[in-house]
């Protein structure tokens, strides 16, 4: 029961390896969608067909091939996930770095803002904004990104507070480098390992939120995403008629992708000697 | 003392900002603010529109409207839903008790189950049973809530016919209500416990390599004693904020579960309001949720300071 155990993985190493493979294959699927998908997802065949060799997962109510739709949908789902997470991470990192590096009044102000953002009920707010704006999926990602940076900011700040006192930062300061230079080329590289798991967790929650919003029918109706597919299956009778090939694959895809991202993030956190608590 | 004052000031400021946001959103969005405030499917003649406009004060300048808005909130007047033909506060009150019946047991059960099982899992990480448990909780944690609810509804109610398909009651007797609530409560408990489980597990994993745990072991305490007497208390700290927030989201946390199981609580109220663009109801719900979340945060802060005196020292 000593501390060395902590360094061991939460789940065995081959699990994190598997999740990495899964993660990469989803990325490839999104990138190579036109190559992998047998049909254009907008071409219409006979509607409500059961799975066959011709249509691996059958066709939906409009006659689109569901397998191709599934592959193309990964693009929007991943763009929203990555976009929101990227934005949240950038905002959180910059705010955390400035608060931690400058301390004092800037710290008070920035952390005050962070506390206030932390108190906004985010999912209800996103739902209301989506209802008013009828947004495109870029906008949905933007809204999520601008709300979800708070925990990153807190973690980055506490790390930056530690690192600004180290001797190499002091050396850089005494050599006369500017604050900006110290923050971005001395401190930032030393907190990347803290930011990465945060970034991955943000992808996971953004993807779950996007699918939930789409399920409510508030997503971008012109874009195909996994959440939209489930929404259409739900409102157009896929559940009542027992067309499992319509709603099950997108749900499984979301779950698997989120799972792979979360597992990679855990692996990161643990290799970082458990300095952070999982928030 | 000044720290507490600063904190409370921060909370009040947050509340003020979010309430103001709630005022601005319907007025700043594209389209006529009257439509935004009334809801889109309310058909009115031109003369009534003008009448309503002056009744709701939309012809006044923004600054006056803003003061009126606060006046209304301070008198617990959340507006009037032209869609449901009733005051928003009345609608909300009638829905809240149903949501509480669903979410209160789930949150409490989820907290107990998640923390205890998570603590045990962090303590005896290597046993095969704990590993199985951890992976299944992780799977639940990664599934979108609406999807898991749909699957459970499909398998247990639709296929196996063990539970009713929708609603809170059909005859209204207590047993009937419990029968209806069982499956949704189970699903929601699974969700809240899976999250608590993951946090608690990580927390115990970290705590158990501290020196005091080694000392307790050297003193000859039993495993369970070390865990529940010493480690548990310390490991509980990061989870307290989450538990408090669970209570903050007690009205909106069940949103997707209510929608999938067609239960007429707050969540479904919000969904219906979305579908019919009933903005007063949406805003009213958002305000209630905000008040709950902010007070839950305050509660967490106070609780945290009491349970861990180290926090209030700086």
pLDDT, one tens digit per residue, over B48-70 is 777 777 777 677 777 888 888 88
User: In this structure, is residue A15 part of a structural domain?
Assistant: no
Tokens encoding B256: 């997707």
The total domain count for chain A is: 1
User: In this structure, is residue A14 part of a structural domain?
Assistant: no
User: In this structure, is residue A18 part of a structural domain?
Assistant: no
User: In this structure, is residue A2 part of a structural domain?
Assistant: no
* DSSP 3-state of B30: coil
Residue in chain A closest to B19 (alpha carbons) equals: A120
User: In this structure, is residue A6 part of a structural domain?
Assistant: no
pLDDT, one tens digit per residue, over A233-269 is 888 877 777 788 888 899 999 999 999 999 988 888 7
Among A1, A6, A251, beta carbon nearest to B147: A251
Q: Say yes or no: A6 contacts chain B, CB-CB below 8 A.
A: yes
pLDDT-wise least confident of A67-81, A261-275, B80-94: A261-275
Cα B217 to Cα A89, A274, B124, B126, B235, distances in angstroms: 41, 22, 15, 19, 17
What's the mean pLDDT when you consider all of chain B? 83
Residue A78: pLDDT band (50, 70, 90) is very high
User: Tokens 């009937």 map to which residue?
Assistant: B176
Q: How many CB atoms lie within 10 A of CB B93?
A: 11
> Cα separation of B186 and B164, whole Å?
14
A188, HSE (Cβ side, Cα atoms, 13 Å): 14
Q: Which of A119, A127, A129 to mutate to test the interface with B (most CBs of B within 10 A)?
A: A119
| Domain enclosing residue A243, as ranges | 26-278
Q: Say yes or no: B89 contacts chain A, CB-CB below 8 A.
A: no
Q: Say yes or no: B206 contacts chain A, CB-CB below 8 A.
A: yes
Q: Say yes or no: A273 contacts chain B, CB-CB below 8 A.
A: no
Kindly indicate whether the ipTM for this predicted assembly is greater than 0.90, answering yes or no: no
Where residue A168 sits, what CATH number does that domain have?
1.10.3720.10
Answer with the residue of higher pLDDT: B279 or A94. Answer: A94
User: In this structure, is residue A16 part of a structural domain?
Assistant: no
User: In this structure, is residue A163 part of a structural domain?
Assistant: yes
User: In this structure, is residue A101 part of a structural domain?
Assistant: yes
């Amino acid at each position: 029961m000593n501390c060395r155990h902590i360094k061991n993985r939460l789940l065995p190493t081959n699990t994190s390896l598997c999740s990495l493979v899964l993660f990469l294959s989803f990325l490839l699927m999104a990138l190579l969608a036109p190559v992998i998908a047998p049909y254009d997802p907008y071409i219409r065949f006979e509607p409500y067909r059961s799975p066959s060799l011709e249509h691996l997962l059958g066709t939906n109510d409009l006659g689109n091939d569901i397998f191709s739709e599934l592959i193309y949908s990964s693009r929007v789902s991943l763009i929203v996930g990555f976009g929101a997470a990227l934005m949240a991470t950038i905002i959180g990192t910059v705010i955390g770095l400035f608060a931690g590096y400058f301390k004092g009044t800037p710290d008070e102000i920035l952390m005050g803002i962070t506390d206030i953002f932390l108190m906004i009920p985010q999912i209800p707010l996103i739902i209301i904004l989506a209802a008013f704006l009828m947004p495109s999926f870029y906008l949905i990602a933007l809204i999520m990104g601008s709300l979800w940076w708070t925990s990153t900011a807190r973690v980055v700040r506490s790390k930056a507070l530690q690192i600004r006192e180290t001797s190499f930062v002091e050396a850089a300061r005494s050599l006369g480098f500017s604050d900006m230079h110290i923050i971005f080329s001395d401190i930032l590289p030393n907190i990347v390992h803290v930011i990465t798991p945060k970034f991955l967790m943000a992808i996971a929650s953004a993807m779950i939120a996007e699918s939930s919003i789409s399920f409510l029918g508030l997503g971008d109706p012109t874009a195909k995403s996994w959440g939209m597919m489930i929404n259409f299956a739900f409102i157009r009778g896929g559940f009542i008629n027992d067309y499992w090939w319509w709603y099950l694959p997108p749900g499984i895809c979301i779950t698997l992708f989120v799972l792979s991202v979360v597992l990679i993030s855990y692996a990161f956190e643990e290799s970082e000697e458990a300095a952070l608590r999982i928030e | 003392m000044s720290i507490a004052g600063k904190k409370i000031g921060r909370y009040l400021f947050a509340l003020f900002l979010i309430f103001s946001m709630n005022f601005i959103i319907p007025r700043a969005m594209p389209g006529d603010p009257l439509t935004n405030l009334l809801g889109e499917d309310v058909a009115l003649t031109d003369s009534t529109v003008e009448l309503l406009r002056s009744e709701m004060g939309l012809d006044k300048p923004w600054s006056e409207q803003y003061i009126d808005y606060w006046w209304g909130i301070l008198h617990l007047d959340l507006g009037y839903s032209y869609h449901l033909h009733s005051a928003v506060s009345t609608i909300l009150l009638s829905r809240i008790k149903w949501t509480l019946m669903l979410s209160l047991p789930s949150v409490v059960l989820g907290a107990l189950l998640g923390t205890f099982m998570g603590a045990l899992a962090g303590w005896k990480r290597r046993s095969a049973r704990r590993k199985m448990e951890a992976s299944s909780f992780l799977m639940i944690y990664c599934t979108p809530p609406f999807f898991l609810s749909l699957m459970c509804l499909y398998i247990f109610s639709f296929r196996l016919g063990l539970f009713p398909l929708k609603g809170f009651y059909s005859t209204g007797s207590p047993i009937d209500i419990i029968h209806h609530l069982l499956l949704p409560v189970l699903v929601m408990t699974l969700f809240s416990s899976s999250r608590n489980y993951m946090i608690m597990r990580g927390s115990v994993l970290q705590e158990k390599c501290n020196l005091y745990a080694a000392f307790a072991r050297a003193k000859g305490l039993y495993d369970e004693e070390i865990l529940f007497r010493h480690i548990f208390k310390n490991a509980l700290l990061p989870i307290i904020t989450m538990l408090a927030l669970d209570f903050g989201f007690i009205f909106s946390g069940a949103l997707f579960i209510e929608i999938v199981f067609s239960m007429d609580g707050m969540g479904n109220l919000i969904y219906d309001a979305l579908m019919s663009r009933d903005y007063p109801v949406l805003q009213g719900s958002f305000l209630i949720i905000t008040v709950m979340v902010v007070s839950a945060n305050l509660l967490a802060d106070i609780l945290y300071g009491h349970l861990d005196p180290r926090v209030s020292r700086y």
